[in-house]
Amino acid sequence: MSGPQRGYCLIVNNFDFSRSSPKLSNRTGTEVDEESLRCVFTWLGFQVEVVQDATSAKMLSSMEELASRDHRRMDCFACVVLSHGLEGGVYGVDGGVVRLEKLKRYVDGEQCSSLRGKPKLFFIQACQGNKEEQAVPVPADGPVNPEVPAQTDGPSSSGDIRSDVASAIVSIPISADFLTAMATTPSCVSLRDRKKGTWFIQSLCEKLKLLVPRNRDLLSILTEVNNDVSQMSDPNSSNMRQMPQPIHTLRMSVFFPVPEKPPRSLPTSSSPGSVPNPIGQLVHYIAQYLGCSIL
């Protein structure tokens, strides 16, 4: 990515489901995810816009409005949805279901010409069903992440093929250049800590902060997220696990330019009343870039 602007990042954060039908629980802890995402994507150079407690209609209208803008100077587009969900869809706070394919259609190659050939990145923090991912034993070659208490984010034409022909117009499929990073696999629940946020989003933010400065591409970063989340466990259910799933039609690797400054520290990462140490933050950032650790 080398354009003058990274792009828009739309964050849809649905917390209050008190008036939903069917009845869904409020998503305590999602505010931590929102703040982490806002911090990291701003650091990466995105223009972040947040929509809170969106109905199904508001989710669609927000995407439609963003898609109608001029993206010619932008490198890409990103959308993060934090909500309850089911396989292939997410819930608005009214209980209405928005199909992910419909959400993505607003920015495909047909509907949004100024994003043609550019990455469209979707990160979906929601359940895809009620099934619990189970653990199976594997040989251990590293430490397992600390256990954290969790909640779930789900509801209680045929023709000849011609090649080697020169053409004056380069064309690509309408569905090209999409990445959809799901918090979990089909039919399964995703897990959320009421105080620390969701496993998937928190791992995503940490891995972006760690690996973008090391010039790692997005798919390899998401593979690290997969590994990280797969080792987490719920202390209330020792056999419950979560497996994120990136799905993509990208035609090239996605690298974010390394920001000149380290990401802003989040309030939750400091002890109450502590004063941030900018020198320490800079040293830590340089160590990340060089692949070193600080003891």
Buried b (16+ CB within 10 A) or exposed e, 138-147: eeeeeeeeee
The CB density around residue 71, as the number of other CB atoms within 10 Å, is 23
> Helices 218-230 and 199-211: crossing angle, nearest 10°?
130
What is the rounded CA–CA span in Å between residue 196 and residue 280? 23
Dihedral, CA atoms, 82, 86, 91, 94, nearest 10 degrees?
-140
User: Which residue do the tokens 């090239």 mark?
Assistant: 252
User: Which residue do the tokens 């649905």 mark?
Assistant: 14
Residues found in the chain: 295
**One of 79, 127, 188, 205 is an active-site residue; which one?**
127
Q: Which helix (H) or strand (E) holds 67?
A: helix 56-67
SS3 191: strand
Buried b (16+ CB within 10 A) or exposed e, 5-25: ebbbbbbbbbbebeebeeebe
SS3 80: strand
Look up 79 and say whether it is catalytic. Answer: no
Look up 248 and say whether it is catalytic. Answer: no
Is the CB of residue 51 less than 8 Å from the CB of residue 11?
yes
**One of 84, 112, 188, 205 is an active-site residue; which one?**
84
Of the chain, the end-to-end C-alpha distance in Å amounts to: 33
Task: List the catalytic residues.
Answer: 84, 127
